[in-house]
Amino acid sequence: MAWRSSGGSNRDLIENLFRNGMIKHLEVKEAFLKVDRAHYAPSHPYDDSPQPIGHHATISAPHMHASAVENLLPFLTPSPARPAPRALDIGSGSGYLTHVMAELVGGGGGAVVGVEHIAPLRDMGERNMRKSEDGRRLLDAGRVRFVVGDGRRGWVDTEGGGLKGEGGKWDAIHVGAAAAEVHPELLAQLASPGRMFIPVDDELGGGDQHVWCVDKDGEGVVTKRRLFGVRYVPLTDPPSE
């Protein structure tokens, strides 16, 4: 169960997520074990719960991050069809998930870009990742970058040889804040095939949200599956200073 996975150490937390079935694949477990959540969550890092990180943002609960990675996994890891996966982490906040995703894309040219609309949070994400030797290595190798932008518009990568692949499109897109809709620009930037994990406000309103798994197949045909109900902070305009 979701909330039963809290632990006394990073390893405890990840082992509990695995035992409780929130993490299913060994490669996902390995990636999470490489990232110490204490570098990203200022309080109670090994609780399976969201924690405030300032600027009205939160680091999501570990079981939510686990679910996101499990769902995106086929599009995050290198394969003959996709030797250098490119992933976008929108609303990168603490930088935790951006780091976990970077562990999975492999060293063959795969890359993750974290998009955050609050500049101090963009900086915090990178600073958090620099706390570990592994994080510094990934940053210095260009396997991960944090940028400032409005994630509702995706990210058009013009740096670091980023315009590789299918016109610079993204194999995997994770959205870490609740969107009013599946934004058309995000969908346009999704590779074919590609997958997006996105919390969206329910059409009926009332403040409820569900995560959607949006797939684009090799022919560009889009299908959407509603996964489960969530409570994320909204994907918004940046707050005025």
State the catalytic residues: 60
Considering beta carbons, is residue 123 or 150 the nearer one to ligand SAH? 150
Region of 102-110, 147-155, 160-168, 198-206 interacting with ligand SAH (CB under 6 A): 147-155
Backbone phi, then psi, for 33, in 5-degree steps? -65, -25
Task: Tell which positions 86-105 bind ligand SAH, by CB under 6 A.
Answer: 90-94, 96-97
Is residue 183 involved in binding ligand SAH (CB under 6 A)? no
Is residue 145 involved in binding ligand SAH (CB under 6 A)? no
> Contacting ligand SAH (CB under 6 A), which of 117, 169, 195, 216?
117
Q: How would you classify the pairing of strands 111-116 and 209-216?
A: unpaired
Considering beta carbons, is residue 45 or 193 the nearer one to ligand SAH? 45
Site string for ligand SAH, 212-241 (x = CB under 6 A): ---------------------x-xx-----
Q: In the complex, what is the shortest distance from the CB of residue 183 to ligand SAH, in angstroms, rounded to a whole number?
A: 9
> Contacting ligand SAH (CB under 6 A), which of 118, 147, 182, 227?
118
Q: In the complex, what is the shortest distance from the CB of residue 172 to ligand SAH, in angstroms, rounded to a whole number?
A: 14
Q: Which of 102, 70, 86, 118 is nearest to 235 (CA)?
A: 118
Three-state SS at 126: helix
Task: Name the helix (H) or strand (E) containing 197.
Answer: strand 190-201
Cβ partners under 8 Å of residue 234, min gap 6:
177, 178, 180, 201
Alpha-carbon 180 to chain mean position: 18
Structure tokens that stand for 119 in this block: 């500049």
> Contacting ligand SAH (CB under 6 A), which of 13, 14, 115, 144?
115
Is residue 178 involved in binding ligand SAH (CB under 6 A)? no
**Residues 27/29/34/40 CA torsion (nearest 10 deg):** 130
Q: In the complex, what is the shortest distance from the CB of residue 23 to ligand SAH, in angstroms, rounded to a whole number?
A: 16
Q: How many CA atoms lie within 13 A of 99 on its CB side?
A: 28
Tell me the helix, strand and coil percentages in the chain, rounded to 5.
30, 25, 40
Task: Tell which positions 22-81 bind ligand SAH, by CB under 6 A.
Answer: 55, 57-60
Is residue 128 involved in binding ligand SAH (CB under 6 A)? no
Backbone phi, then psi, for 168, in 5-degree steps? 75, 20
Binding site for ligand SAH (CB under 6 A): 55, 57-60, 90-94, 96-97, 115-118, 121, 150-152, 176-177, 233, 235-236
